Amino acid sequence: MDTNHSQQRWTERQVTRQPHGHVLTNMGCWSHDGRWLAYDVRRTEDVFDGNRIERVHVETGEVQVLYASSRGAHCGVVTCSPIDDRVVFIHGPEDPAPDWQYAAYHRRGVMVDCGTPGKAITLDACDLTEPLTPGALRGGTHVHVFSGDGQWVSFTYEDHLLARYEEETAQHQVNLRGVGVSVPAGPVEPPADHPRNHSGAFFSVLVSRLAANPAPGSDQISRAFSDAWVGTHGYVRPDGIRQAKAIAFQGHVRTDDGRTISEVFLVDLPDDLTVPGPDGPLQGTLTTRPSPPAGARQRRLTYTAERKHPGLQGPRHWLRSSPDGERIAFLMKDEAGVVQFWTVSPNGGPPRQVTDNPWDVA
């Protein structure tokens, strides 16, 4: 950007020229020092066919290959640490087979230090046989994002063990998308008694509470997605105490008249995610979902069912938080049916409309 005293003049500049895709993730694509942009080489964001994670220096144009997948695996959706030169991304299965192709519940998180390209660390362990291992998952993780201090990693998750069931019964639960966190309390090393079991360097848990059939008008949700860390260092609660770690996300609720809409939810996280909570074992069972750790407190922040245009709406979007954690941003229609930019406090209260445009945000 070139500037003078009276105006700002923006200059657009091309930084990559290679004949392949350069797909940026919805957030975290800048390195912590603002010098590099990280991306994957998929043809489009809708096709998971990339085999490299790269970054480009925005001033010099230098391209670095940070990781290349092999044995038929693909990789993509890279995000950067806010404090150092690490990146984290999705890695698909090696040696895919007819019964184990890339899918929402067949993928894992992988971390690379840019100082040692090609050397990958698997974040989340996988265990598919009893006895299931605390700190290991049983499915796939997606859109991995560092917390503001660079210590924890959030993700969305789907479950391989429960994906075989189409309808929830008293005997088993079904696969639902949820939100989880990996913390550096590993390694987690399941036994090698299944060909797709693998170890992870971090301890991984789910932190969202889900219900396949939410009670109409309740705060139960059937899907948790499009998450964001709240604040660089959390937020201040009404009692004046700082909540160090919290994640906001969209949750699917069912209205009194049976419609499914998205609302803003938040989960406050305890300092220690390795302690089982009252809902059940962290690792779940062969027929039930993994349960949140002790002290994980899920809350609903928006109640829009009675509005003229209920629920979060507009283009697909992830929630965002202000750095101080005081406001969480989302998209919703105003009374005229126009998609506007809104915010809500992590402590609840009425949403605040920020834009008042005559056209949709998109």
Q: What is the pLDDT of residues 151-201, one digit of tens each?
A: 999 999 999 999 999 999 999 999 999 999 999 999 999 999 999 999 999
Q: What percent of the chain has pLDDT over 70?
A: 98
DSSP 40: E
The single-letter code of the amino acid at 143 is V
Band (4; pLDDT cuts 50, 70, 90) = low
Q: Is the pLDDT of residue 212 over 50?
A: yes
- The whole-number pLDDT of residue 2 equals 47
Q: Give pLDDT, residue 89.
A: 98
Model confidence at 108, in pLDDT bands (50, 70, 90)?
very high
Residue 231 has pLDDT above 70, yes or no: yes
Cα separation, 15 vs 72, in Å, equals 29
Give the per-residue pLDDT at 149: 97
Residues 6+ away with beta carbon under 8 Å from 236: 242, 243, 325, 326
362 vs 357: CA distance, rounded Å:
11
Q: Tell me: pLDDT of 279 over 70.
A: yes
Taking only the tens place, the pLDDT of each residue in 115-127 is: 999 999 999 999 9
Strand partners, 299: 266
Per-residue pLDDT tens digits for 292-305: 999 999 999 999 99
Q: What is the pLDDT, as a whole number, of residue 79?
A: 98
Q: Six-digit token pair at 277?
A: 């909570």
CA distance 269 to 243: 8
Per-residue model confidence as pLDDT tens digits over 33-63: 999 999 999 999 889 999 999 999 999 999 9
For residue 8, the model assigns a pLDDT of 76
Mean pLDDT of 239-252: 98
Token reading at 318: 């992830």
Pairing of strands 139-146, 153-159: antiparallel
Give 334-351 pLDDT, tens digit per residue: 999 999 999 999 999 999
Which candidate, 339, 256, 253, places its Cα nearest to that of 302?
253
CA angle 102, 54, 92 (to 5 degrees): 10
Provide the pLDDT confidence category of residue 10 given band limits of 50, 70 and 90: confident
pLDDT at 3: 46
Q: pLDDT of 247-272, one tens digit each?
A: 999 999 999 999 999 999 999 999 99
Per-residue pLDDT tens over the stretch 187-196: 999 999 999 9
Q: What's the pLDDT score for residue 176?
A: 98
Residue 106: pLDDT above 80? yes
